[in-house]
Amino acid sequence: MKRLSDPQTETEISEIFSSLQGEGPHLGVKQIFVRFGRCNMHCGYCDELEKMKEEHFQVFSADALTTELERLESEKGSHHSVALTGGDPLFYAPFLAEFLPRLKAKGRLVYLETNGTLPRELSEVVKWCDIIAMDMKPPTSTGDRPFWAAHEEFLKIAIRKEVFVKVVVTPETAADEVKRCAGIVKSVNPKIPFILQPVSDPFGINTQALSLIEKEILPSISEGLFDVRVIPQMHKIWGVR
């Protein structure tokens, strides 16, 4: 396996594929997914842990990745956008600053999926992003530490572009932490779409998480936000990756 020699000119990718967006307000659009290798977080519900192992990484230069995406675009037909996902793409911000200008020069729409915890890295690449799908991470959902200040700083930068905020809800999620996420969104711009996503398990949508959303979370965040939606993850239901 080739190792990363320069984090500015090369990156680690675990997979590249054409599929449908399975989450959030752009549900169902056809995208090329570029899955970056590593992540700065450790969420208990993460379904990408296996792909985040170094043995699955392929090293790409900015030129080689651009060429591969153009090849997929011509092989699979036109796509709505290129979804940068992970892991967390912003873990590789120096590389993105090399790669994204090339992608924009090809006329591609850039859809950034991120855990919303790396504001400095976002500020380095936000000018090349078109849509930012930002997660907020209540510690009772993830089992990781809180990122409140980072989330707020991140959203204040992301608001320059189209942005929506997504919160994954598990049966362990504390309603007051989701309320705190909603409070950050309200303080930045109450019109930002706020998506509640009940966690999925191998049997489908987790019904305890859905019930928690319906009974405790929605009533506690209903005031002051203009666009709250409950949208489950659809990949597993559609049987696509």
CA-CA-CA-CA torsion sign (187, 190, 191, 197)? positive
Q: Chain centroid to CA 11: how far? A: 18
Q: Is 115 or 140 the residue whose CB approaches ligand SF4 more closely?
A: 115
Min dist. Cβ of residue 141 to ligand SF4 (A):
10
β pairing state of 81-85 and 110-114? parallel
- Specify the amino acid at residue 164: F
Residues that bind ligand SF4 (CB under 6 A): 39, 41-43, 46, 48, 86-88, 115
Nearer to ligand SF4, 13 or 225 (CB): 13
Q: At closest approach, how far in Å is the CB of 46 from ligand SF4?
A: 3
One-character DSSP codes across 203-229: TEE-HHHHHHIIIIIHHHH-SS-S-EE
Between 23 and 88, CB nearer to ligand SF4: 88
Shortest CB 74 distance to ligand SF4, Å: 29
Greatest Cα-to-Cα distance within the chain, rounded to the nearest angstrom = 52
> Please, which residue, 112 or 225, has the CB nearer to ligand SF4?
112
The distance of closest approach from Cβ of residue 97 to ligand SF4 in the complex, given in angstroms and rounded to an integer, is 21
Give least dist CB 63 to ligand SF4, A: 26
Close Cβ partners of 69 (under 8 Å, ≥ 6 residues apart): 16, 32, 34, 82, 103, 106, 108
Nearest CB to ligand SF4, comparing residues 69 and 136: 136
